[in-house]
Structure 1
Amino acid sequence: MTSAPARDPGPAPPEVQLRILKVLVFSQALGGAGMAAGITVGALLAQDLLGSTGLAGLPVALFAAGAAAGALGAGQISQRWGRRPGLALGHATAAVGSVGVVAAATARTVPLLLFSLFVYGAGTATNLLARYAGADLAAPEERGRATGTVLLATTLGAVAGPGLAGPTGAVAHAWDLPRLTGPFLLAVVAYTAAALVLALWLRPDPLLLARERQSGQATESGGRRGHSGGAGVVAGAAVMVTGQLVMIAVMTMTPVHMTGHGHSTQAAGLVIALHVGAMFLPSPLTGLLVDRVGRLPVATASGGVLLAAGVLAALAPPTGTAGTVLLAAALVLLGVGWNLGLVSGSALVTDAAAPEARAATQGLVDVGMAIAGATGGMVSGLVVAGSGYRWLALCAGVVALAVIPLVARASQSRSYGAPSLSRSTV
């Protein structure tokens, strides 16, 4: 039986929340550009230094392992000292990892490269964790939009970053460094700038202020303190972890499936680009739906959209233009379904977790997401090798439906959210 969550003291003054969002948007745009380095050239660097195409996927595993450690560490630091040191230190860690990658590639030192990729992955975990900071001081009925705003800012840098691979590679070459280190040079600058922005300007600290306001509310109501609403945390975590597992599994093997059936590398790249755009660009609209329609309906919709993505990918012809178009549509749906789950799940967890336990709880949820992503990446290859891409896509879609009974259970338990959510989320 779950205990009732603490009463929400209401939103912070609008000017304070606006300032917090501006700082987060600026830092996330920078962080997104840094995150793009790993996506753009991480596998190519590993292939170059290791001399093996089969090991080119190793950076994905290292990013995922690092992200799990980073999410746990940043969550604990934020829990104890606030969002500002947690997020700033995370971005600084990514900058240090980027320096290590550049040094390893220049010296052609494999152990240093692998360790640096792990450190880089640990730092990049803060790119997603920042979405929670945007919702700390938001009114319950505005948390979805606040989360969506921060996620959209990440897209700005992530989309621009790959386009700078050529210019940054030229800079690296001019400095007698390997061209592939160019995006990581950008990551050093971007993550360092993001860390400074957060350390200097994320004031007041949104989590600490939310905690103070909650403490004041508890004092006025006779000293009662809140506890995490178990049903809401479980439902939100399940939605996000399932979405991450399904999304990573299908996304990872789609380029392999396409190039293996005669599609060009450019076509596969376009499909993945559309997918990444669909992951983040709908965030403001998703946030609006989460606030207006409700957390639970949007979370349920995420399972349906992910199922549709899996079925469409399974039915797409493996060759020809029609196959490319249908796979592109499937991957767009895959990104949208993931986005629906991430924004609604984040709001559910934030609603259910009391401020005194919120950051640690959110960090643990993101550890689960990182582990799910690593699992999806590893299992997807085995499924495709044993049964084919169509079975992978179909099974992933069916797995996505697992969120529906969990969401239904949370809907039956009215103990997961703030009191004001009865109008906007159920």
Structure 2
Amino acid sequence: MIREFAKVADELGREKGLSRSMLSEVLREAIVTAVHKKIGKYGEPEVTVDIEKGTIKILIPKEVSEEIDSKWHEISIEEAKKYKENPQLGDIVMVPTTLEALGRQAAIAAKNKLLEKIRDAERQVIYEQFQNKVGEILNGTVLKTERDNLVVNIGKAEAILPKRESIPADFFGRGDYVRALLLEIRVVKGWPQLILSRTHPEFLKKLFEMEIPEVYEGIIDVKGVAREPGDRAKVAVYSTNSNIDPVGACIGLKGVRINSISQELRGEKIDVIEWSPDPVKYVCNAISPAQVLLTNIFEDEETIEVVVPDDELSLAIGKKGQNVKLAAMLTGWRLDVLKESEYNEIRKVRLIEQEQEFKEFDELYNLEHIDVLTDEMVRRLVDAGIDDVEKLSTSNLEEVAAALEISDEEAINIINSAIDYLTSKLAELQDDDFTEESEEEE
């Protein structure tokens, strides 16, 4: 029985990818459990396992006694002499036994514990084997379909390719070859579950590394990927080597390189564009194939306004907004695409608003509002670069005194007059806001 037990354990271990040293320890713990099942926690048995030879040695502790109440716990002096020289009453002697001697219940307990320990060891092997492969592409074959999810054999383990992580045009049957990204390792009921993805942007990036030598070698860097899986994608590439065209290298002669990647993605159209540290240039590249006439950047709103010819608006936006959506995803900017004629009208309105703002600013901050200043003083301050009340209020007295050729005391008086003026205007504005809020509440 012991040889068969070791043989079965060895076969199970090889099937699960367990090392013999790990398997020996697993089997040893299972045998210890079986001994405890039979004799209870009466001392600690000694169990030695040799998987290669297919041997298991079991020694159980027995006390040397005059009266034998339990053959599993006590041993006579005459019997103890077989295992120890000159035994005395009360001595503990390690006595060999076998699985057969321990009985059927002990053997079942050993088998159950063995399966449990192998499963625990398998869990640990999966963690150790795959925890550093998250974000890498794995190859496997389809085993079966469970609730629209594919179960994929990836060697000594199984992985799940959920339907949501599959390209819409994907269709795999049992035994079919699958390439996918190891997206994450989840723990489900204490067991590691490997989750695959063919829709994640990183999958496309890794395909570039596998199919394009310059990317694999680091000569070309894939800076960003945006995808609508199975339909269209944009990939930004860059090289510090001025002698290399990163876009052309990734596309390949007659598109051979990019086409092989597209075929893996069920015909997904891939636009390869050049990355730039200049956000405006990057956006212009990303919005291609449309021509960009001009751009306006609004950093506070994280928005770039893109103006294109009237006849290329639909090209810039793309079918169902796909082109501009992917460009925005790729660059990280919100893109507002306008046709040239529309922008011209908006520009006219903006100029009028800008003129009005300048007028209001001039009316509010004009130096002529400061009573202590003469026309000549205003001219001198403007020549010195102090051309509005706000600047005057924050100027130091040396600047004002030098510009007007006056004493420090007179300069302080002028600066304080500017501060008093701004304070009064701020109070007026706050009163106006309070009045408007009250009227709205009523």
TM category, shorter: under 0.3
Quick check: which one's strand share is greater? 2
What is the TM-score when the length of structure 1 is the normalising length?
0.19
Per the normalisation by structure 2, the TM-score is 0.19
Higher alpha-carbon Rg: 2
Structure with bigger RCO (C-alpha 8 Å, 6+ apart):
1
Greater helix percent: which structure?
1
